[in-house]
Structure 1
């Protein structure tokens, strides 16, 4: 057994991941999970009820907001986190396929 821990005498030590890739993967995970939590913890609330008749006079129905700003920001965070993780996975696959033979 040599100092690298392998048993074969000519085996190269395993390559480490670059620090920027580890930081980028961590950032992607944090942004994706933060977006998911933002979506899950801020559900859209219905501030209207059932109206059996049209309002009397000049009254109007309240506006219905289907996508809240919190939900839009949360889904944007989820998508951004997934894009970053997909980039990192693609970079790793490309690095493994084009590794020079030793």
Structure 2
């Protein structure tokens, strides 16, 4: 009996599983890295002043300035989600179709 590794051009089952799971693992790693990067980024405060005292409840409220690390984190999350969506669509399109084709009406 010959192994799949003995036949040229055939991959072992472990190699096929590893190849099939590379994109979703990379996408998950991008999402996790982006979340960690954005969550651990220092928050910069933004202050402003006006000539007259403002009433309570007026003004812009608390502003959040996005730092470069936060922007990079959000970009990594978006890239990871985009890669996962691409992989899901690719796998959905490549799966085998079952059943008989629909009858064409004339």
Matches within 5 A, 1:7-18: none
Contact residue 21 and residue 88 of structure 1 kept, 8 A: no
Q: Count residues with an aligned counterpart.
A: 76
Query: Gaps spanning 5+ residues in structure 2: where?
Result: 1-12, 52-62, 101-106
Q: TM-score, normalised by structure 1?
A: 0.57
State the alpha-carbon separation in 1 of the partners of residues 46 and 29 from structure 2: 32
Q: CA deviation at 1:44?
A: 2.0
Which runs of no fewer than 5 residues in structure 1 stay unpaired? 1-14, 54-63
Displaced runs of 4+ in structure 1, greater than 6 A?
none
Other structure's SS at 2:31 match: helix
2:50 and 2:64 mapped to 1: Cα distance? Answer: 21
